[in-house]
Amino acid sequence: MTGPSGAVHSLAALVGELLEHADDGVLPILRAGDPVLRRRVMPYRDDLDRGLLNDLVAAMFRTMHAAPGVGLAAPQIGLPIALAVIEDPGTTDPAVADARDRRPCPPMILANPTYEPVGTDVAAFYEGCLSIPGWLAVRRRWRTVRLRAQTPDGAPIDEVMHGWTARIVQHETDHLAGELYLDRAEPRSLAHESVAGRWAGPAHPITAAEALGFDLHEP
């Protein structure tokens, strides 16, 4: 694999370089337009020793929390490997929690995640990305998915995820295939964060669709 300078690096060397240049333990997040975000990553095969892996995962969680966000995939920090972290504290607004089916998700470290839909129900909500700061758009996603992954130690993960947690899993797993959420978002829903607050209520996709002129029921 190659680093930003084009020189060949081992994964351990690349991770070490990233951590060395972290700002108070927080890593820079790549922005849309960086080619790393558009490449399918390599599987993670226990490539890092325990100490370096722990340091990397801790830095990924710190970076995610500082952003702030609820998920971070390795390509977003320049690593073309199939690793992601997710954690969602949920929301304190019961109406929003019910509308989005958003419940707290504990910290998870996912190696080589994949997902498949469970059933045919989809949900359309505004979504954002740490690699596209300042913007949100409506994205349809499967309401329930089956997540298959491994822990970094290789232990299997096989869980059914629902609601907002399923959305997070899909978003971060898509990063590992070189996909950004905007690739399949509703173009007319695009909103800058300075005005997106008007669509922040429980029924915001419906309100936004009426005001901005897009159809939530289109496939």
SS (H, E, C) 122-166: EEEEEECCCCCCCEEEEEEEECEEEEEEECCCCCEEEEEEEHHHH
Contact 88/168 with Cβ under 8 angstroms? yes
Q: Was 105 annotated as part of a binding site?
A: no
Nearest to residue 109, comparing CAs of 61, 64, 68? Answer: 61
116, 172, 179, 210: which is the annotated catalytic residue?
Answer: 172
Task: Let me know if 172 is a catalytic residue.
Answer: yes
3-class secondary-structure state, position 120:
coil
Q: Was 204 annotated as part of a binding site?
A: no
- Residues 85 and 179: their CA atoms lie apart, in Å, by 17
Contact 78/22 with Cβ under 8 angstroms? no
- Residues 82 and 75: their CA atoms lie apart, in Å, by 8
CA 122 to chain centre: 18
- 83: tokens are 């690793």
Helix axes 50-66, 11-20, angle to 10 degrees: 50
Q: Which residues are annotated as a binding site?
A: 129, 171, 175
Q: Which residues are annotated as a binding site for Fe cation?
A: 129, 171, 175
Annotated catalytic residues are: 172
